[in-house]
Structure 1
């Protein structure tokens, strides 16, 4: 495995965008996630009916800083570590599993684009306000065709979890260059919300109905050259260190995809496990209360018989 010496890595660069809450801690973000559990439980049925968490819940997540947990400080993020991210997702999934899945897959991928895109691309994606949420579908279900001014993106990608409230989307693409030698090249493209269509096809499934795992169709979107890179999310090239490692000076942005992917999914599943235990405990307490009431009724009935005798 190739590694980059700390002595040769670039130093962190001062942030260009302010954090919404300077001084916010990972512990506070986790506490906010815990406190949302009653709201999430109460909204479970409606989330499943609409296929995603509500716009109101999205705004709560945004104000709580959940979308910025893994986002670089340079771009107004908090750049907390993966432990904080995992704990937040666990707590949200504990309140509503589908919501946990949708939030996870919308908020997590700030880490991926911060890792593989050069600064010019990150400047565009994080913009002037640092608001970034994006599903990622690495399967190359479409193409990126090179032009003089940028790239034309076309295709349809399924299972784009977290898409309903995202303002970007990340796709695996087959790159078609102007001077191609004919060899297939897999890359990654990022497309803004106003150039893709979310299909209403996430209904009638057995589980995780609230995850917002809709398909996305892109019809000849035109994006700048900086938004397409020759990096396959399934096999990120880390030789010499990633763009993000050198830009942000943080090894969190230097890893391959699958280790992080497992963190995403496992965090959701652990939260679901806790949710199942919570439900079991709730049913057990309810049954205990009913048994106690039945016992009191039985005692009262016996007392009446004795008195009448």
Structure 2
């Protein structure tokens, strides 16, 4: 296929963030209905498209802005304040545009050649049964929790391990399959983020994936591309999850302040806003959230600095960045729980949106990208000279 270039006007990062902030009231208003429907409305996905959010990370070849992931993170931090499920869908469906920047261009041409607004779903859990064949791969299997998959007509990235003859893992790859190759299973009934439509996905049979539609998700090397696509896959994906979680937590702070400022005590005179214990919990909660936000932004800013200088992000820094991102949900959930306790019995009613933000944080904290326990041990082991487990940052060196 020949060269594809879409000439567009690129908004500034500040304009994109302002658009996200302007959407918060409408997103908040629809959040309950989104959970009840267990799906984000097509109109919301279209509004995100119209705002340019799906183009932030998309390569310019297909009409994107090719911006730093930091811009995407900042947009997610705002949208998460409104409707957690809607923001989560943007996060999952929007990060794939960045992935195409690290990919063989033929894959992007096939997906976006006729329509650069087409979306692609994913489930990176390495569930595929994989075998190498001439010209590509044959895969089969079923994958869980493909968020926003009903909106993705361009197919899905599916994870799978590649084994050698002895059964050793030699690679973990993503395979881009076509929409007609799989079915969706409506099985997403969750305590939080209930509106994400995170259905299971099942291939209809063993499916051929051409070599140009697959890439390693653990291998990291410099490519001949712009700086934003020279960053490690896992770090950018994990950072996106962390960014939207920060939005959930800040949304809870917003709601808590709105509820508390006009509220009056029942048993004594005065307002909870005058209570030093309420003030202390709120102050410490905000500190935790701001600290998490600062870590996420520092990680991406430092990483972009390496990429812009034509360097790989050093392994010793990547180990720190991994934990910096993975501890975000722990900190944000702790912050949210602090202020939820101070909302008293009013906070437990389903009509109170505070509980929706808390439940979203509870579920997000269980995402694999937020496994701070294992990652803390990994960082400690690395600092003590024990190295990094193979497959986390680089391919294992088999003996």
TM-score by length of structure 2 reads: 0.60
1:35 corresponds to 2:22: yes
| 8 Å Cα contact 2:59-2:100 kept in structure 1 | no
Written as runs of structure 1 = structure 2, the 5 A alignment for 1:39-54 is 39-54=26-41
CA distance 1:195–1:186, change in 2 (3 Å): same
Is the counterpart of residue 171 in structure 1 residue 158 in structure 2? yes
Partner of residue 228, structure 2: 252
Aligned to 2:220: 237
* Offset of residue 90 of structure 1: 1.1
Residues 126 and 278 of structure 1: is their aligned pair in 2 closer, same or farther, counting only changes over 3 Å? same
1:155 to 141, 157, 169: 141
CA distance in 2, matches of 1:95, 1:104: 14
- Higher RCO (CA < 8 A, seq sep 6+): 1
Q: SS of 2:33's equivalent?
A: helix
**Larger-Rg structure:** 1
**1:221-244: CA deviations, max 9, x gaps?**
645514443x432x1231xx2xxx
After superposing on structure 2, the runs of 4+ consecutive aligned residues of structure 1 that deviate more than 6 Å are none
Q: Report whether the alignment pairs 1:278 with 2:254.
A: yes
Identify the match of residue 198 of structure 2 among 208, 213, 225: 213
Aligned length: 265
Shift of 1:86: 0.7
Name the CA distance, whole Å, in 1 between partners of 2:253 and 2:91.
Answer: 21
Q: Conserved in 2, the CA contact under 8 Å of 1:132 and 1:166? A: yes
CA contact (8 A) 1:190 1:227 kept: no
Which structure 2 residue ranges, 5 or more long, are not aligned? 272-399
The answer to whether the 8 Å contact 1:15/1:76 transfers is no
Between the aligned partners of 2:262 and 2:195, the Cα distance in structure 1 is 27
In structure 1, the residue matched to 2:179 is 193
For 1:269 and 1:24, the matched residues in 2 are separated by 25
Q: Which residue of 2 aligns with 1:266?
A: 242
SS in 2 for 1:133: coil
Instruction: Provide, for residues 81-128 of structure 1, a one-character-per-residue CA deviation record: whole Å limited to 9, x for no partner.
Output: 11210111111111111211121011112112321x222222223322
1:86 aligns with 2:70: no
Per-residue deviation at 1:282?
1.6
Structure with the higher strand share, 1 or 2: 1
Q: Give deviations 1:156-179, integer Å, cap 9, x for gaps.
A: 111222322122211112459xxx
Q: In 2, Cα distance between the equivalents of 1:164 and 1:221?
A: 22
Aligned equivalent of 1:16 = 4
SS in structure 1 opposite 2:80? helix
Contact 1:32–1:64 at 8 Å: present in 2 too?
A: yes
Across the aligned residues of Structure 1 and Structure 2, the Cα RMSD in angstroms comes to: 2.9
Whole-Å separation in 1 of the counterparts to 2:144 and 2:18? 34
Q: Residue 106 of structure 2 is aligned with which of 109, 116, 120?
A: 120
Flag structure 1 segments of 5+ consecutive residues without an equivalent.
1-13, 296-309
Instruction: Say if 1:186 and 1:260 are closer, same or farther in 2 by CA, change over 3 A.
Output: closer
